[in-house]
C-alpha cells in the first residue's frame, strides 16, 4: 500500500468514525433514560477530622430489645456528638431516621428481640408485610434484607423501611413496595460503634487483651428483590466516616473515592488494628442533602465491593444462613474497606 492510498483510507475511517459518533451522541440525547439527573459534583471532597471519642451522648440507647435471654448478644446503640478540628459538630455514628422516630419500621424476617425466628425459608410468610406505595399503579416488589448493623431504605426518595434493631442481636427484614420502573433504591448503612467517634466496638469474645475492648468491627449489606434485583458490584457505594486511624493522612482521596490503600487488608483478619485506642483519629465527609433522590447524580461514586460470607463473618448467623433460597445469588456489598468504613450510602437505579 503506497502513502497516498494509506492517507486516503485513514481520512475515510476518520469521517466514518465521526459520523458514527455524532449519530450515537444524538441517540443518547434523544433516548429516554428516566429522570434527569442533577449535575455531578466534581469538586474536591471536604474532609473533617476528629480525634478521640465523642464526649457528648445525646441518646443513651436506640435499641429497644429487652435483655431477656442470657445468650442474646444485645449491645448498646448510643448516639453522640463530636467536634471536628474545623469546628463542625458531627453526630456519631450518623443522623438516622430511627433516631428521628421516622418509619415505617422494618418487618422481621428473623429477630430474636421480637421472638420471630422461622426455622427455614418454608416457614417464612410475607402475607402480613405492609406494602409501601411509591407509585400507586406500580409493581409490588418484595425484598429480603440483612444489614450489619443498621440500614434505612429509600425508593425514589421515599422512606420504605427503617431497621428496628440498630446494632445487635443481628436481625433480617422483609420489605414490600409498589413502584414503576425506572426506580432508584438508596440505603444508609451504619456499622455501629460502641466507642462513639473511634469506629470501634467491644468485641464479645476476647481475641487479645486489647482487641476485646477496642475492636474495629465491620459492616455489610445483602438484599434480594422479587423483580430480580440483587446487591452486587453494579451498585454504587460511598463512605462518609472512616476510623480508626493512626493518622488522618492514611485516608487518600482520588477524585470522589475515599480510600485507605496503604493499611494492609480490607477485611479481617488482615486489616490493621491500630494501637491508638482513645487517641485514634477519624475522617468524615458531609452526607449530601439529596442522596435519597433518584435525581441525585452518583456518577462519580465508586462501585460497591463484593464480599464473601466468610469475609463478612456470617457463616453462623441464623438471620441469614437459615434462608439461602431467599437471598439466592445476591452478594454482600460495602465500600472499599469493610473494616474502616463505618457509614456508607449504597445506591442502585433499576431499569
Per-residue pLDDT, 297: 96
Over the stretch 137-168, which tens digit does the pLDDT of each residue have? 999 999 999 999 999 999 999 999 999 999 98
Over the stretch 33-89, which tens digit does the pLDDT of each residue have? 456 788 776 666 799 999 999 989 999 999 988 766 667 788 899 999 999 999 999
Distance in angstroms (rounded) separating the CA atoms of residues 164 and 323: 20
**Averaged pLDDT, 271-299:** 94
Residue 150 · residue 192 · CB < 8 Å:
yes
Distance in angstroms (rounded) separating the CA atoms of residues 18 and 12: 10
The whole model's pTM is what? 0.88
What is the residue whose three cell numbers read 423501611? 161
Per-residue pLDDT, 32: 37
**Higher pLDDT pick, 60 / 15:** 60
Could you tell me what percent of the chain has a pLDDT over 70? Answer: 85
Name all contacts of 59-65 with Cβ < 8 Å and 24+ positions apart.
Answer: 59/99, 62/96, 62/98, 62/99, 62/166, 62/167, 63/165, 63/166, 63/167, 63/168, 64/113, 64/164, 64/165, 65/112, 65/113, 65/165, 65/169
Report the chain's mean pLDDT, rounded to a whole number.
Answer: 88
Q: Where are the domains of the chain?
A: 46-350
Confidence of residue 23 (pLDDT cuts 50, 70, 90): very low
* 233-263 core/surface letters (b: 16 or more CB in 10 A; e: else): eebbbbbbbbbbbeebebbeeeebbbbbeeb
For the cut 60, the answer to whether the pLDDT of residue 24 exceeds it is no
Q: How many Cα atoms sit within 13 Å of 303 on the Cβ side?
A: 7
Instruction: Tell me whether strands 172-179 and 131-133 are parallel, antiparallel or unpaired.
Output: parallel
CA 64 to chain centre: 23
Distance in angstroms (rounded) separating the CA atoms of residues 280 and 147: 26
Per-residue pLDDT, 6: 42
Distance in angstroms (rounded) separating the CA atoms of residues 258 and 338: 13
Amino acid at each position: 500500500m503506497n502513502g497516498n492510498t494509506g492517507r486516503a483510507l485513514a481520512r475515510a475511517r476518520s469521517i466514518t468514525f465521526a459520523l458514527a459518533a455524532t449519530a450515537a451522541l444524538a441517540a443518547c440525547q434523544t433516548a429516554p433514560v428516566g429522570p434527569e439527573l442533577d449535575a455531578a459534583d466534581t469538586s474536591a471532597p471536604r474532609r473533617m477530622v476528629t480525634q478521640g471519642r465523642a464526649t457528648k451522648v445525646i441518646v443513651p440507647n436506640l435499641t429497644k430489645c429487652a435483655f431477656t435471654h442470657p445468650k442474646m448478644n444485645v449491645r448498646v446503640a448510643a448516639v453522640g456528638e463530636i467536634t471536628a478540628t474545623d469546628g463542625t459538630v458531627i453526630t456519631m455514628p450518623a443522623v438516622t431516621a430511627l433516631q428521628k422516630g421516622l418509619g415505617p419500621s422494618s418487618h422481621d424476617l428473623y429477630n430474636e428481640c421480637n421472638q420471630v425466628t422461622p426455622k427455614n425459608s418454608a416457614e417464612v410468610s410475607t402475607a402480613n408485610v405492609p406494602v409501601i406505595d411509591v407509585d400507586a399503579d406500580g409493581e409490588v416488589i418484595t425484598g429480603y434484607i440483612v444489614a450489619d448493623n443498621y440500614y434505612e431504605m429509600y425508593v425514589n426518595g421515599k422512606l420504605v423501611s427503617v431497621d428496628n434493631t440498630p446494632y445487635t442481636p443481628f436481625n433480617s427484614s422483609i420489605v414490600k413496595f409498589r413502584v414503576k420502573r425506572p426506580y432508584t433504591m438508596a440505603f444508609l448503612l451504619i456499622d455501629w460503634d460502641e466507642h462513639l467517634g473511634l469506629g470501634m466496638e467491644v468485641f464479645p469474645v476476647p481475641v487479645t487483651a486489647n482487641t476485646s475492648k477496642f475492636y474495629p468491627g465491620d459492616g455489610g449489606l445483602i438484599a434480594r428483590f422479587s423483580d430480580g434485583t440483587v446487591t452486587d458490584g453494579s451498585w454504587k457505594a460511598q463512605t462518609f466516616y472512616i476510623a480508626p486511624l493512626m493518622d488522618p493522612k492514611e485516608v487518600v482521596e482520588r477524585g470522589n473515592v475515599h480510600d485507605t490503600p496503604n493499611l494492609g487488608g480490607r477485611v479481617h483478619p488482615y486489616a490493621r488494628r491500630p494501637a491508638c485506642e482513645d487517641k485514634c483519629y477519624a475522617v468524615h465527609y458531609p452526607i449530601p442533602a439529596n442522596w435519597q433522590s433518584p435525581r441525585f447524580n452518583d456518577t462519580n461514586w465508586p462501585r460497591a465491593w463484593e464480599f464473601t460470607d466468610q469475609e463478612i463473618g456470617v457463616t453462623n448467623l441464623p438471620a441469614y444462613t437459615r434462608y439461602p433460597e431467599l437471598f439466592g445469588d445476591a452478594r454482600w456489598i460495602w465500600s472499599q474497606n469493610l473494616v474502616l468504613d463505618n457509614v456508607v450510602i449504597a445506591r442502585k437505579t433499576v431499569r
